[in-house]
């Protein structure tokens, strides 16, 4: 099947998604607690992704001719075969589509092992592709445990692996894939720094800070976790940030006004409590906002206004609504703190001096730097991390070519 024929299926998938947006959004919210408005946004992104690759895949996969003096010489892009995706619960539709759409556009077959706490999302996604008329077995969902997933990776029929998850899972799967010499894409954890220089637009910065930190109740690899603020503006930033956090509404995720829903699992509550215990042990006092909820896995928005780099909250991926402010004396210290973790997914820099901000961006070890804005994947740009945040890229034409054989062909007379 040609790429032009394949892309027609993704145009149909886009229509199926848009016709059923409310159904899919409710599934997300009821399964893992994301506020309903944000669930709709996630579904919209999936539809846009299908449209983007339907419009652009043929162009991205077109043979590239190179004149080397032969009769003909070119680079062609061929599918690898069966690609196994292991996907997380926090963006249960988006992560699957982000992996599967470009991978199938390239001509591969996808097999998915989704997180065990979002089975309805997993099965509904499979139905989307069936309703769009995809050939049988081009996309398959398996409701299996992690042990079985590792056994599947070892199968000779599996030609590549993609994982979005945590560092421990990535290390284990990376070791296995490496021993089998199978191509691999890993999108792992993040502890994104949000650097605020003294000349930042404070009003804009704090609004984006609240959104970037607390979107999806902080359960996102690209959430801003560490707010690294120059001391000249630190007091003003903290005061303004606190006011923004106080405006967040915590409660029923099906309520259109809710900003902070419940955590996806009880174990995450326990993990966040341990993080706060460490904060207090090291002499800082968390500021907690919002009404306490009588039931459910709720964790109220929390700010650590006097965090330090020796705290666990600043050194691990915190998957929940906790933001930490670290005050630094200058931009050199800001860079040192920003680069001090083993993670390098995204980063944000705030300054009115765009040249200064771009110079600083070159010093940050991450796969994505947003200047005066929020780290947010764009279909047209590659997305991925460095250090222990991952290997490879997703989205754009780069993501489309992660699971292809880039073959050189030289024709001589």
Q: Let me know: does 143 contact 122? Beta carbons within 8 Å.
A: yes
For 68, other C-beta atoms within 10 Å of its C-beta total 9
For 283, other C-beta atoms within 10 Å of its C-beta total 9
- According to CATH, the topology of domain 192-371 is Aldehyde Dehydrogenase; Chain A, domain 2 (3.40.309)
Class of domain 3-188+389-411: alpha beta
Rounded to whole angstroms, how far apart are CA atoms 12 and 8?
7
Domain segments of the chain: what residues? 3-188+389-411, 192-371
Q: Which of 161, 167, 194, 1 is nearest to 82 (CA)?
A: 161
The radius of gyration computed from the CA coordinates of the chain, to the nearest angstrom, equals 22
Dihedral of CA atoms 29, 32, 34, 35 in degrees, nearest 10, equals: 40
For 270, other C-beta atoms within 10 Å of its C-beta total 9
The residues, any chain, with a CB within 8 Å of residue 205's CB and separated by 6 or more, are 196, 237, 350, 372
Q: How many CA atoms lie within 13 A of 318 on its CB side?
A: 32
Partners of 409 in beta bridges? 74
Sequence length of the chain is: 413
N- to C-terminal Cα separation, the chain: 30
Per-residue pLDDT in tens (0 to 9) along the chain, 413 residues = 899 999 999 999 999 999 999 999 999 999 999 999 999 999 999 999 999 999 999 999 999 999 999 999 999 999 999 999 999 999 999 999 999 999 999 999 999 999 999 999 999 999 999 999 999 999 999 999 999 999 999 999 999 999 999 999 999 999 999 999 999 999 999 999 999 999 999 999 999 999 999 999 999 999 999 999 999 999 999 999 999 999 999 999 999 999 999 999 999 999 999 999 999 999 999 999 998 887 899 999 999 999 999 999 999 999 999 999 999 999 999 999 999 999 999 999 999 999 999 999 999 999 999 999 999 999 999 999 999 999 999 999 999 999 999 999 999 99
In three-state secondary structure terms, 379 is coil
- Pairing verdict, β 139-142 and 72-79: unpaired
Q: Is residue 310 packed enough to be buried (19+ CB in 10 Å), middle (13-18) or exposed (0-12)?
A: exposed
């Amino acid at each position: 099947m040609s790429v032009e024929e394949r892309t027609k299926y993704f145009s149909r998938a886009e229509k199926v998604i848009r016709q059923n947006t409310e159904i899919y959004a409710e599934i997300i919210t009821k399964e893992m607690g994301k506020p309903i408005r944000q669930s709709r946004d996630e579904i919209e992104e999936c539809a846009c992704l299908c449209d983007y690759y339907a419009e652009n895949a043929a162009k991205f996969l077109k043979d590239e001719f190179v004149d080397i003096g032969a009769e003909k010489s070119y680079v062609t892009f061929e599918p690898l075969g069966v690609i196994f995706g292991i996907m997380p619960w926090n963006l249960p539709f988006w992560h699957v589509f982000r992996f599967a759409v470009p991978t199938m556009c390239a001509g591969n077959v996808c097999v998915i092992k989704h997180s065990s706490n979002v089975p309805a999302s997993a099965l509904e996604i499979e139905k989307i592709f069936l309703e769009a008329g995809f050939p049988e077995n081009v996309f398959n969902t398996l409701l299996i445990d992690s042990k079985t997933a590792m056994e599947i990776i070892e199968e000779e029929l599996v030609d590549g692996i993609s994982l979005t998850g945590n560092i421990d899972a990535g290390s284990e799967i990376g070791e296995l894939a490496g021993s089998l010499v199978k191509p691999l894409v890993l999108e792992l954890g993040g502890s994104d720094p949000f650097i605020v220089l003294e000349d930042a637009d404070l009003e804009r910065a704090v609004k984006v800070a609240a959104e970037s930190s607390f979107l999806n109740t902080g359960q996102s690899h690209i959430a801003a976790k560490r707010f690294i603020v120059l001391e000249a503006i630190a007091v003003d930033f903290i005061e303004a940030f606190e006011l923004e956090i106080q405006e967040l509404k915590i409660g029923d995720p099906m309520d259109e006004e809710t900003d902070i829903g419940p955590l996806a699992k009880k174990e995450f509550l326990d993990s966040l409590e341990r993080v706060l215990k460490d904060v207090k042990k090291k002499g800082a006092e968390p500021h907690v906002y919002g009404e306490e909820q009588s039931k459910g896995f709720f964790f109220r928005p929390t700010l650590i206004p006097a965090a330090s780099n020796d705290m666990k909250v600043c050194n691990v991926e915190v998957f929940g609504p906790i933001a930490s402010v670290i005050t630094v004396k200058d931009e050199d210290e800001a860079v040192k703190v920003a680069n001090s973790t083993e993670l390098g997914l995204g980063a944000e820099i705030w300054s009115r001096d765009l040249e200064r901000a771009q110079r600083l961006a070159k010093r940050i070890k991450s796969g994505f730097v947003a200047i005066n804005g929020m780290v947010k994947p764009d279909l047209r740009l590659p997305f991925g991390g460095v250090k222990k945040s991952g290997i490879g890229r997703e989205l754009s034409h780069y993501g489309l070519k992660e699971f292809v054989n880039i073959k050189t062909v030289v024709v001589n007379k």
